[in-house]
Amino acid sequence: MTQKLFLEDAYMQEFDAVVVAVLPNGIALDRTAFYATSGGQPGDTGSLNGVPVTDTIKSKEVPDQIIHVCDPTSFSVGQTVHGKLDWAKRHTHMRMHTALHLMCVLIKGYATGNSIGTDKSRIDFDVEMAELDKADIETRLNQLVAADYPVSAMFVDEAELDRNPALVRTLSVQPPRGSGSIRMVTIGSADTPLDRQPCGGTHVKTTGEIGRMAIAKVENKGKQNKRIILTFADGTQAAVAA
């Protein structure tokens, strides 16, 4: 099991860890700040002791183990390594991910899919096309961004989802069960949240950190998939000051 430092501090850019496994496609560490691909958010890139990490993925063989995809020949089990994230890319993913949560505030339907990128992201909803006005969505999204709502995360008992199943906003993917707790991401105050839903991804501290957004396109991708594509309004991928 890999300790997920990114859940404790999404802003951690460097860390030290110990190699616990050397694999054909990379290495596993006892702990990491590298996010592994899941939930539509890409895995982090960066370096370990200067060796490039080209992707970060979940192990298919070992539960809760994260694999750093890299040249494994420079590493051995028990070795201490120093990790550095490609912070500009990660922070852009954080901004985009929180923006997609804001889309769930604006669109009153189940999310049926999403994909986070550095230059653009998309989210699909099970709604009618007539409900989606591109200009209106963009205006309201930027109002939520400008309001600078706080963003926080905490673990709650799984029973809370049983008591309030509406917290799950995704139609096809359910949050993992079995550990006894679920990580919830809240936008707004805990007492009167703007949005609250299960999520294991990384997010910014406030919605203002997202920066101004643009709705690039609204598409009909099928009966249950009305797609909204988001970009940064300034057209850049650069991370704003953290």
Give me the pLDDT at residue 182, please. Answer: 86
| 218-229 exposure pattern, b = at least 16 Cβ within 10 A, e = fewer | eeeeeeeebbbb
The one-letter code for the residue type at 138 is E
Question: Phi and psi (nearest 5°) for 31?
Answer: -155, 155
Angle between helices 134-146 and 87-106 (to 10 degrees): 120
Q: List the chain domain ranges.
A: 3-85, 90-232
Residue corresponding to tokens 């860890």? 17
pTM: predicted TM-score of the whole model, two decimal places: 0.91
Cβ(42)–Cβ(91) under 8 Å? no
CA 32, CA 54: separation in Å to the nearest integer? 15
Q: The domain 3-85 is classified under which CATH number: 3.40.50.970, 2.40.30.130, 3.40.718.10, 2.40.50.100? A: 2.40.30.130
CA 100, CA 122: separation in Å to the nearest integer? 8
Q: Which residue stretches of the chain are H helix?
A: 5-8, 87-106, 134-146, 159-163
For residue range 172-231, list pLDDT tens digits in order: 555 555 567 888 999 999 889 999 988 999 999 999 999 999 999 999 998 889 999 999
Tell the CATH topology of 90-232.
Threonyl-tRNA Synthetase; Chain A, domain 2 (3.30.980)
